Amino acid sequence: MNFTTHVMFGVLIAAVFFGEPRIILLVGIGSAIPDLDREYGFLSKESFRNRQVHRALLHNFLFFGLLYLINPFLALGAFLHTLLDALTTARDRGVEWLFPFSRLVKRAVYDNEGNRLELDPKQKIYFLQNEIHILTKKTTKDLKPSGPLLPWRRTYGPALSGRLLDLGIFVGSLGLTLMLVLFSALGLYKFIDLTIRPIDLSFDLPVAIGAFGIILNFIGGEVDRKHLAKHFKPDPIYKALFYLSIAVMILAVVLGGIMNPQSVILTINKIPYIAAGIAIVLFVSFVVLKANSSKPLPTDNDKEPPII
């Protein structure tokens, strides 16, 4: 999905369910964040393809949880972004919802043609099958995986990104959002609170700085991609822009915490409950894995090892 589609869809959902301009803004910004896991400064293009971090590094439930600790509406925007990306096909690599935990599973039970593979006694947890080769061959050039076929870790959908569905969601989201604004402005129904409010530096300043950092990263990244396509050499100016954009985003988070101490206190108060939840999940996972590790792997083709 295109950047504008993600942001517009997030804005629409926030307008429908919340109607508060500041929440709408935060959800819109959150809708842009996941695509920072492109090759914008993180990795070389070759390493980027080999590691398959796009639609994985910042498109997963763990990242949503971490972003929630900063602001729940940013996390909602990131989730909506990832939900739309999950509708796209292998051409754009779908979405790896369970990253990085999915990377712990190294093998599949069946190959890409459905033939049963030899099981490894040391490996107790498997994915069902390897990615289908014909799908990975259709992947966009800069995202195409290289090397041996990997277990099928990603969720794919029926729609080609950037095409009819992408355009439809963007136009539909834009049209519905404008309709909500018009109805609210005319007083027909108050979908969105259009009351003019005084500037609140504790909110507006961190948000403006964070948005600037995200925009700086995207603009620099696209300029660098075009530069590499022509000159095949990284641009040191872009590298500086990348690190500057990351610093600006970190500054926004820190400044937001300093200027909104009550929000920080509320987040800190949630941490013991979050830690308890994580501990329970890890304990249950450990018990399940330990129980399965004591069982011999099945040899009968009608039986399967534990599959996720």
Task: Locate the domains of the chain by residue range.
Answer: 1-97+157-197
Closest by Cα among 222, 217, 91 to 165: 91
CA-to-CA distance for 262 and 259, rounded, in angstroms? 9
AA letter at 261? P
pLDDT tens digits for 87-143?
A: 988 888 889 999 999 998 888 888 888 888 888 877 778 888 998 888 888 888 878
User: Quick one: pLDDT at residue 39?
Assistant: 72
Does residue 148 or residue 105 have the better pLDDT? Answer: 105
Answer for the pair 120, 60: CB distance below 8 angstroms, yes or no: no
294 pLDDT exceeds 80? no
CA atoms within 13 A of residue 50's CA, in its CB half-sphere: 7
174 pLDDT exceeds 70? yes
Mean pLDDT throughout 294-302? 63
Instruction: Return all residues near 29 (Cβ < 8 A) that are at least 6 apart.
Output: 74, 77, 207, 210, 211, 214
